């Protein structure tokens, strides 16, 4: 019987996905997370951070005392916040559907936050979405993913002056098999 994916159970939560998005682009203190996520109560935020640290999705890379409290600096941990193919195969149908819908809801929330002040020229200059059908084998797909990873690598951590952070989301949905 398929079982729920351990990493999916940790990362497929709307608040945790938002935390991962923030820390995925740069190191962040817990104070910076609270500022970036004002709609999340502090205790709830800390509970989700603790779950991500425990799962090694986030790592504590620094601590300092601030007015008697310990402020932690967080970075991505050793465990990728990515549900791989093996884990996707292990999920039962309900967990798979819920994980995908959580991903889509988070993507919609990301758009809502980006456009909260209106969809002005700056957002339109960086906004794009589309859909294309590819005809691939499993090997082709592996090569596409590897080359895409190589192409994107220089843009994942370089916060140079004049750059803007954008979210790139990918979804691969196979068409149903047609009878031959």
Instruction: Flag whether pLDDT at 154 surpasses 70.
Output: yes
- Give 33-63 as a DSSP string: HHHH-TTS-HHHHHHHHHHHHHTTSEEEEEE
**pLDDT tens, 64-121?**
888 888 888 898 776 655 666 777 788 788 878 887 887 788 788 778 877 877 777 6
Instruction: Flag whether pLDDT at 1 surpasses 50.
Output: no
**pLDDT tens, 43-60?**
999 999 999 998 888 889
Instruction: Flag whether pLDDT at 3 surpasses 60.
Output: no
The confidence score (pLDDT) of residue 82 equals: 61
**Beta carbons of 28 and 22 less than 8 angstroms apart:** yes
Instruction: Flag whether pLDDT at 2 surpasses 50.
Output: no
Q: What domains can you pick out in the chain, each with its CATH number?
A: 6-117 (1.10.10.10)
Per-residue CA distances from 162 to 92, 128, 158, 159, 165 (Å): 44, 19, 11, 8, 10
178 or 47, higher pLDDT = 47
87 or 140, higher pLDDT = 140
Q: What is the rounded CA–CA span in Å between residue 51 and residue 57?
A: 9
Instruction: Flag whether pLDDT at 26 surpasses 70.
Output: yes
Point out the least confidently predicted range of 13-17, 118-122, 167-171: 118-122
């Amino acid at each position: 019987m398929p079982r729920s994916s351990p990493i999916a159970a940790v990362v497929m939560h709307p608040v945790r996905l938002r935390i991962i998005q923030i820390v995925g682009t740069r190191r962040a203190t817990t104070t910076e997370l609270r500022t970036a996520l004002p709609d999340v109560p502090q205790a709830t935020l800390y509970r989700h951070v603790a779950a991500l640290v425990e799962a090694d999705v986030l790592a504590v890379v620094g601590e300092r005392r601030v007015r008697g409290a310990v402020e932690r600096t967080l970075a991505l941990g050793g465990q990728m916040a990515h549900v791989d193919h093996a884990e996707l195969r292990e999920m039962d149908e309900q967990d798979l559907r819920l994980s995908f819908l959580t991903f889509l809801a988070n993507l919609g929330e990301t758009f809502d936050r980006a456009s909260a002040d209106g969809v002005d020229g700056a957002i339109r200059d960086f906004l794009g979405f589309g859909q294309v059908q590819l005809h691939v084998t499993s090997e082709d797909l592996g090569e596409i993913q590897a080359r895409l990873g190589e192409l994107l690598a220089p843009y994942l951590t370089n916060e140079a002056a004049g750059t803007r952070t954008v979210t790139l989301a990918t979804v691969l949905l196979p068409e149903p098999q047609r009878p031959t």
